[in-house]
Chains A and B, each alone.
Chain A
């Protein structure tokens, strides 16, 4: 039973991580890319770690995975914030939709 739950969680995690990567390619500018990377990857990595906890129980691996999850939720936004702040202070503008410009031409 635990194996089944673990595998479901693992698949969910892989799906979200994959979507995060797709977002990284599709989004137009650095800030939107960071949004895609932080949001999808937290749940993706979170459920992969949760799968590790469910499959191994209270063992060395499980407890380490739990600690890693806490660190992930603390570190991922902090790193993204550092990147965004650096991008902003180096003067990168926010991307805007180009609808109006197209009509003018």
Chain B
């Protein structure tokens, strides 16, 4: 089942990237996807059974909503910081706790923190995230987590665990 999921995902990406409706293209795509699946399919979906639980997709959609709003906000705040003459920045490093265990969830959390307003993942360890904050408001880990992640961590916990 693992292999089937990987194959379908790769085949869909192939079709979208080439977007060519000739039979030869579909055939080539199938062959290429089969080779890639045979090489890497062993590793990728860590929990194949999660693919068929619709609750996770709803949670992920909620995550995407929060994330898109945060990302747009981040761009405008950053644009303001760049064009304002006084350069209103006060950079520093904070460490916040990381409670997610699943590797994919951790990657997505780190990436969305990088795209969230004013924060930036520098390093990731077993149970902490090292974050560069362009305008430090607090150094306390719990408060910093509240400011930086908000609800993201708990939503991702629903999606991936």
Q: Which residues of A contact B (CB under 8 A)?
A: 16, 19-20, 22-23, 26-29, 31-32, 34-36, 38-40, 42-43, 59-60, 63-64, 66-67, 73-74, 76-78, 80-81, 84-85, 88, 94-97
Contacts and interface: CB of A to CB of B under 8 A. Distances in A.
A97 B16 CA distance: 48
B92 to A, nearest CB: 6
Nearest to B112: A77
B139 interface: no
B82 interface: yes
A60 to B, nearest CB: 4
Contacts of A81: 110-111, 114, 121-122
Given A43-B72, A59-B19, A16 B79 contact: yes
Interface stretch (B33-41, B52-60, B83-91, B152-160): B83-91
B74 interface: yes
A35 B134 contact: yes
B20 A40 contact: no
A78 B111 contact: yes
B114 A80 contact: yes
Nearest to B85: A26
Contact of B71 (A19, A42, A64, A66): A42
Given A74-B111, A85-B123, A60 B20 contact: yes
A39 B110 contact: no
B19 A35 contact: no
Contacts of B111: 73-74, 77-78, 81
B33 to A, nearest CB: 15
28 contacts: A19-B78, A19-B82, A20-B82, A22-B82, A22-B83, A26-B87, A27-B82, A27-B89, A28-B87, A31-B120, A31-B122, A35-B132, A35-B134, A36-B82, A42-B115, A43-B71, A43-B72, A60-B19, A63-B16, A64-B16, A66-B16, A67-B16, A73-B115, A77-B112, A94-B92, A94-B93, A94-B132, A95-B91
